[in-house]
Amino acid sequence: MTASRIITTFAVFALLAFAAQESRAQQYPIVGNWEANVTLNGLPVTSDATLRQDGSFTMTGQSNPGLEFNVVGTYTVLPAQQTIRFVNRDWEPKEECLPGLDFQMHCTTLPVPQTLDARYRFVSPDAVVLESPTLDTGPVQFQRMQ
């Protein structure tokens, strides 16, 4: 898995962490801090996400070894589709730089989707399962952090 794909996956997981604010969200408030741990092609990844009442979010994704990604943006709930539309406003890093055979650094822009739609389903007040066709990882469960 390339670093750009891992970073895109981090962004998606973080965005998915905030999925929901329709009638279920009133029953199970989603505002707060969430965490998911997944394995992507053998690489352990942790996403920590914060959802705010004003419709903004921040997320940090980290893998071992050492890849870190941060994204901020806004979200809109589409309750009829049980979907959240996330809009990425900014992210870091913006590019991946790797040494080439010529011993020079070669940098590539990291693709982060500007808009992402994600489906959600609460399994308890402190757990939400999220899924997006953008990912090939299948459903991901996020836990509320106290």
Report how far residue 125's alpha carbon sits from residue 104's, in angstroms, rounded to the nearest whole number.
51
List the one residue out of 17, 15, 8, 16 whose CA is nearest residue 40. 8
Residues 104-138: pLDDT tens digits?
999 989 878 888 888 888 899 999 888 888 766 67
> For the chain, how many structural domains are there in total?
1
For residue 8, the SS3 value is helix
Q: What does the mean pLDDT of the chain come to?
A: 78
pLDDT at residue number 44: 84
Q: What is the enclosing helix (H) or strand (E) of 113?
A: none
Domain span at residue 83 reads 3-145
Convert the pLDDT of each residue in 19-44 to its tens digit: 433 333 444 667 889 999 887 767 78
d(CA 140, CA 119): 11
Does the reported pTM lie above 0.85? no
Model pLDDT, residue 130? 84
Read off the CATH number of the domain in which 119 is found.
2.40.128.280
pLDDT of the residue at 124: 92
Looking at residues 36-55, what average pLDDT do you find? 84
